[in-house]
Structure 1
Amino acid sequence: MKKVLFIDRDGTLVLEPHDYQVDALDKVEFYPLVFQYLAKIVQELDYELVMVTNQDGLGTPSYPEDTFWPAHNAIIKAFRNEGVTFAEEVIDRTFPHENQPTRKPGTALLTHYMDGSVDLPNSFVIGDRITDVQLAKNLGAKAIWMVTDPQLGADEISNDARNLQEVIALTSTDWGEIYRFFKGRQRTGKVHRVTKETDVFVQLDLDGQGRYNNHTGLGFFDHMLDQLAKHSGANLEVRVQGDLHIDEHHTIEDTAIALGEAFRQAVGDKRGMERYGSCILPMDDCLATAAIDFSGRPWLVWSADYRREKVGQMPTELFYHFFKSFSDTALCNLNIKAEGENEHHKIEATFKAVAKAIKMAVKRDINSQELPSTKGVL
């Protein structure tokens, strides 16, 4: 699915004049470095650009159209001359006091981007107003907030009741920093999966520090998820409310499904990524081998047997099921072999080996846009 940058105009692409109306050519002053770095984003990254702007009272006596369009068209032409084109220019003409759903942060003019054809979780709104951040939240996207007064920004955040801080991926007034963020931005996934049997929340950052905060209700399972985070270098948070009064199956299966989906989100289009990883890992009497390919195709090869029915509260038969469900939703090939005497060591070595294989596979060169496939698609 395509990804979109919804970009504000005034205060983001051009500097905003004191009267807040860019209604003459001599009032057009472009944001510093915007041509250089927005052109690089267009050339090097896979985003569609959409301009979204509120123009208070456009077409009324307070803002005649014949003063708006010459300046606006000159702005569009200047960007086009630098190789930057906008797929659409979405302009709302209403006044703030009218509270129309077409006006940012309303989404009434953007519903065609919310029909499932756009990868909104990996799309961004770029703007200088808190309404741009609110728009990102309403779209299900992230925000780049170009707020010029950090204290004002902090006050606006603290006074907003909708947890907007979680929406803001970057606060910056530097288009160079914004470009570098997109070029090498952290690869994240967030999944909240609710069924009649479980409520699973997973948050993943592939470019983390191996931090973890996992609570599934199953102590040994938490310990294994901790290993997955620590040895892959990813930050991982898993919270589960499951029907453990029945048994452990649904909690483990649904966690694997949500975790696989989070990985699928995080690896994205896989450009510049190694794709393949493998590890042979010893742990005392045990040896675990894991190999992974983020190929876009699910497959699991499994060679591990257990003599114990459970380790901790976790049935050993569910380890195969965990990795099968993970590979199915992460869309990866996974080959696992484990041998040894101590079942705890055998299982822990398996999770560590998979983690090390993942770490190798997701390694990337942020300066490369090469897809690791001769097919041209993964």
Structure 2
Amino acid sequence: MSAILFVDRDGTLIEEPSDFQIDRFEKLRFVPGVIPAMLRLGEAGYEFVMVTNQDGLGTSAFPRADFDGPHELMMQVFASQGIVFREVLIDSSLPADNAPTRKPGLGLMHGYLRDRSIDWSRSAMVGDRETDVVFARNLGVRAFQFRTKQFGGDWDWAGIAHALLSTTRTAEVVRNTRETRITADVDLDRADEPRVTTGLGFFDHMLEALGKHGGFALGLRCEGDLHIDEHHTVEDCGLALGQALRQALGDKRGIGRYGFTLPMDEALATAALDFSGRPYFVFEGSFQRERVGELPTELVPHFFRSLCETAGLNLHLRVHGDNDHHKIEACFKAVARALRQAIRRDGNELPSTKGVL
């Protein structure tokens, strides 16, 4: 899904003219920091849409010729730096007209509001006036009021880029069924002691290893129908955790994507995974014991299959050895280490030639 930065024009991209009675565009000055910030945002996958009120554009009071030349020059400068706007939306009505197309109205936004490919949670609006803030509120996106002497505001372009690109990758999933009640939360950019309670001691130990060796904060609480058996608890924990990982990863920009072979005494487990968005699980291995602790060994591969389904994860897991405890623990730790490699963020590029993961 694409994130869009809606941007006002005067006072946000170029400095607001100081005297509207003289030549409105006598001098074209770019707002400090706008080009470096928009380059960073563009590299991170943001698309740009300009939304501007130009009072009376096309009338004798504001002829098109006064606008078109400077505007085209501005667009050429942006394009020369690699900054391209998806669309430029201009409303030329006067404030007294109270036109629905005039910000903060959404009359120009109908096409975007129907576009299901837009990630509204990451999209935002930058403008220098209170009307831009109200426009963002009406649109349901985050507002950044750019700092100017004329209208106030708290933000500059460097701060806006930092705020949009430094968002932590967190998610919380609540999954309640007739069989289980689960809350799973992850923070992929923070290491912390895992908090796990499922009612199955050995399973808790394995999930704690997944978070600890995965290098991310993990919380998971499950109240399941253990009076029937362990199947629903193990399966649904995998589904909830996979969903949380997928949500926290967002558009997956900058991740390693792939990733581990890990020994556990005489046991050896290999986990090769890919956050491809296409769930697929292959398991090679076997267990001699029916249970380790309270965990049925047949549910070990089933847990990872459930994790893959909701995480959009392709995982090939292989294990061999003599001790089933060691083999299961090696599986969880190998997957955890592969996850650590795959979710680590390094830059903003999307690791895919398709342009989406």
Q: Same fold (TM over 0.5)?
A: yes
Cα distance in 2 between the residues matched to 1:316 and 1:94: 72
Do structure 1's residue 5 and structure 2's residue 5 form an aligned pair?
Answer: yes
- Return the offset for 1:73: 7.4
Where do residues 169-248 of structure 1 align in structure 2 (5 Å cutoff)? Answer: 173-175=156-158, 178-179=160-161, 185=166, 188=169, 190=171, 192=173, 194=175, 196-197=177-178, 202-206=184-188, 208-211=189-192, 214=195, 217-218=198-199, 220=201, 221-238=203-220
Cα distance in 2 between the residues matched to 1:75 and 1:196: 57
**Aligned counterpart for 2:278 among listed residues 287, 294, 297:** 297
Q: How many residues align?
A: 344
Superposed CA RMSD: 4.8
Do structure 1's residue 355 and structure 2's residue 336 form an aligned pair?
Answer: yes
Percentage identity across paired residues of the two chains: 40
Structure 1 spans left out of the alignment, 5+ residues? 157-170
Where do residues 9-88 of structure 1 align in structure 2 (5 Å cutoff)? Answer: 9=9, 11-15=11-15, 24-25=24-25, 29-39=29-39, 41-42=41-42, 44-52=43-51, 55=53, 58=55, 66-67=61-62, 70=66, 74-75=70-71, 77-83=73-79, 84-88=83-87
- Return the offset for 1:68: 9.4
Corresponding position of 2:109: 110
Contact 1:187-1:268 at 8 Å conserved across structures: no
Q: Could you state the TM-score of these two structures normalised by the residue count of structure 2? A: 0.70
Corresponding position of 1:280: 262
Corresponding position of 1:159: none
- Return the offset for 1:366: 1.4
Question: Aligned in 2, Cα 1:82/1:376: closer, same or farther, shift over 3 Å?
Answer: closer
State which drifts further: 249-258 or 351-360.
249-258
Cα distance in 1 between the residues matched to 2:137 and 2:288: 47
Question: Aligned in 2, Cα 1:217/1:267: closer, same or farther, shift over 3 Å?
Answer: closer
Cα distance in 2 between the residues matched to 1:203 and 1:17: 49
SS of the aligned residue for 1:82 comes to helix
Cα distance in 2 between the residues matched to 1:91 and 1:242: 56
Contact 2:44-2:253 at 8 Å conserved across structures: no
SS of the aligned residue for 1:229 comes to helix
Contact 1:193-1:201 at 8 Å conserved across structures: yes
Q: Could you state the TM-score of these two structures normalised by the residue count of structure 1? A: 0.67
- Return the offset for 1:357: 0.9
Contact 1:51-1:89 at 8 Å conserved across structures: yes
Contact 2:288-2:324 at 8 Å conserved across structures: no
Cα distance in 1 between the residues matched to 2:133 and 2:230: 40
Question: Aligned in 2, Cα 1:174/1:346: closer, same or farther, shift over 3 Å?
Answer: same
Question: Aligned in 2, Cα 1:276/1:310: closer, same or farther, shift over 3 Å?
Answer: same
Cα distance in 2 between the residues matched to 1:71 and 1:249: 68
Question: Aligned in 2, Cα 1:224/1:144: closer, same or farther, shift over 3 Å?
Answer: farther
- Return the offset for 1:32: 0.6
Do structure 1's residue 260 and structure 2's residue 259 form an aligned pair?
Answer: no
Question: Aligned in 2, Cα 1:274/1:18: closer, same or farther, shift over 3 Å?
Answer: same
Cα distance in 1 between the residues matched to 2:275 and 2:122: 19
State which drifts further: 75-84 or 216-225.
216-225
Cα distance in 1 between the residues matched to 2:222 and 2:61: 58
Cα distance in 1 between the residues matched to 2:135 and 2:197: 33
